Amino acid sequence: MADFSAAMTGGQTFKLSGRPAKTTVLYFYPKDNTPGCTTESLAFRDLHDQFRAAGAEVYGISRDSLRSHEGFKAKLELPFELISDPDEAVCQAFGVMKMKKMYGKEVRGVERSTFVIDADGRLVKEWRGVKVPGHVDEVLEFVVRR
């Protein structure tokens, strides 16, 4: 898996090769403060302690600005950091930019996706075209079983 770095909340920079030797869960979502993205982020928040107990760190990532992320994180009281990818470099690297239908029009956007990267930096599981209900439970189950 190619290394990357990107700005994240809390004035920090996420670097794939510089993260602690733990399992990393990256969930890509379309936009801060939208219903599905809020529901998904709250589910990761509510199970955060269980992810940590399983040795995993969770990070959300979208094209939103750091300012938007900071507000979204504070509003939802998220205990994990959000990565900002306004130039879509990370989204492109993971292949999550897709043409989608929205109100009958074709728009280019982030396909809701989750990736699990092991302590050695290997991609070990991916979910694409995610439907929010039950998804975070499924990710946690996978992480715990590893």
CA distance to 29, 73, 80, 107, per residue, from 137 (Å): 17, 21, 17, 29
Question: Of 136, 122, 126, which Cα lies nearest the Cα of 16?
Answer: 122
Round the CA-based radius of gyration of the chain to a whole number and report it: 14
By DSSP bridging, strand 5-8 and strand 12-15 are antiparallel
Residue 37: active-site member: yes
Could you please report the per-residue DSSP string of 50-114? HHHHTTEEEEEEESS-HHHHHHHHHHHT-SS-EEE-TT-HHHHHHT-EEEEEETTEEEEEEPPEE
Catalytic residue among 8, 25, 37, 43: 37
How many angstroms separate the first and last alpha carbons of the chain?
A: 19
Residue numbers annotated as active site: 37
